[in-house]
């Protein structure tokens, strides 16, 4: 069992080794300072999900603020959604190929719009 100091040291080490954290923090602050309504997100991104819809489409494997890593139902690939905190909407779904290049990721139609 980790004690407080071990947990704090681990969190500090993780933050120091994550060179994307400052960038992600700025994006999170920007998105959550002016959260978009669903219709505005839909105008900018083809696929929008709320939490129940996202739960039908995919299983969450992990998250790192601004992004949630998922495995779509019936698909072996991993993908990531961007998300805003309040009101929680997921948008801009993409997958990464073996070289780290983003590509569209197809969802099953079980959860609604594609």
Tens-place pLDDT, residues 52-66: 999 998 899 888 888
Q: How far apart are CA 73 and CA 47, in angstroms?
A: 16
Residue 42 included in any domain: yes
Tens-place pLDDT, residues 6-65: 556 655 655 566 788 888 889 889 888 989 999 999 998 888 999 999 999 889 988 888
pTM: 0.67
Q: How far apart are CA 36 and CA 32, in angstroms?
A: 9
Both tokens of 34, joined, read 């002016």
Residue 72 included in any domain: yes
Helix (H, G, I), strand (E, B) or coil at 39: helix
Structural domains of the chain, count:
1
Residue 100 lies in domain: 4-107
């Amino acid at each position: 069992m980790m004690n407080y100091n071990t947990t704090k040291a681990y969190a500090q080490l993780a933050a120091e080794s994550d060179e994307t954290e400052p960038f992600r923090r700025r994006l999170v602050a920007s998105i959550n300072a002016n959260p978009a309504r669903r219709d505005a997100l839909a105008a900018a991104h083809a696929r929008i999900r709320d939490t129940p819809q996202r739960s039908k489409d995919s299983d969450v494997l992990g998250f790192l603020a601004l992004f949630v890593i998922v495995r779509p139902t019936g698909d072996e690939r991993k993908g990531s959604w961007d998300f805003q905190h309040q009101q929680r909407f997921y948008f801009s779904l993409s997958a990464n190929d073996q070289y780290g290049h983003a590509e569209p990721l197809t969802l099953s139609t079980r959860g609604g719009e594609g």
